[in-house]
Structure 1
């Protein structure tokens, strides 16, 4: 079972890294990058900290989320256990923010599905993805 969770962790980490690359560079997919740029204009308008007077600049917001996903995704996939756990937590916060943003924008449920599935997998890894401790430790 540990191999299944290890494989899931690596695949999920690589998925986040690729997703982040699409946000920070148009070299992976120019069309998808442009679509992300236009979406982040809307996302910046409903940024959760806007109520406290902070509204991010859309391109900076896109790049920040992209870099967070790239670094955290690679650390989730290949980092030591402590960094995997920290990356999992950071990506969990990013996915909660993504779901919040999509719900506030009243996007169709199908738009929320990828973020919800990723959040569920991150939580599963957090709960069950660690090796079991023996009773002698």
Structure 2
């Protein structure tokens, strides 16, 4: 597979994942996309805040995590990471957005497992997590292949000159 094809695949994957996280980030923060989804998320996040991975850290600081705050935090991270996947140029900035989204996905999976939700509630997040990991691995492989081909091109030029 050529480097251009791999780059296009990574770009398409970034766009698809970015749109997913922007939509769900906005849905968590405002009812403008879907009032039903937003109200459902509001009631779920009241339960989710009780088992959040952030809770022990906040308890240490004598802070209480409310469902609204956790929902806004998660939605903000998803929105920022999704916009990063869609808008930011450069491999490093895309990798930062990728890692942010992987972390928030891990939070979501932890929350669903801790609350005792059935596995089917986590299926979407598992799939997105696999896509994020796949995007990351493909990006690393493409970067390696590109640097390897540049080195071999430089060596060919040196051999021709000598």
> Could you state the TM-score of these two structures normalised by the residue count of structure 1?
0.92
Q: How does 1:1-137 map to 2 (within 5 A)?
A: 1-2=5-6, 3-52=8-57, 53=59, 55-81=64-90, 82-130=92-140, 131-132=142-143, 133-135=146-148, 136=151
In structure 2, runs of 5+ residues without a counterpart are 155-162
| Number of aligned residues | 137
Indicate if the aligned counterparts of 1:72 and 1:90 stay in contact, CA closer than 8 A. Answer: yes
CA–CA distance in 1 between the matches of 2:125 and 2:116? 15
| Structure with the greater alpha carbon radius of gyration | 2
**Deviation for aligned residue 1:129:** 2.5
- Superposition misfits of 4+ residues, deviation over 3 angstroms: none
CA–CA distance in 1 between the matches of 2:68 and 2:55? 16
Indicate if the aligned counterparts of 1:44 and 1:55 stay in contact, CA closer than 8 A. Answer: no
In proportion to residue count, which structure has more helix? Answer: 2
Indicate if the aligned counterparts of 1:44 and 1:57 stay in contact, CA closer than 8 A. Answer: yes
Q: CA RMSD in A?
A: 1.5
> Could you state the TM-score of these two structures normalised by the residue count of structure 2?
0.79
**Deviation for aligned residue 1:55:** 4.0
* 2:117 partner SS: coil
In structure 1, runs of 5+ residues without a counterpart are none
* 1:70 partner SS: helix
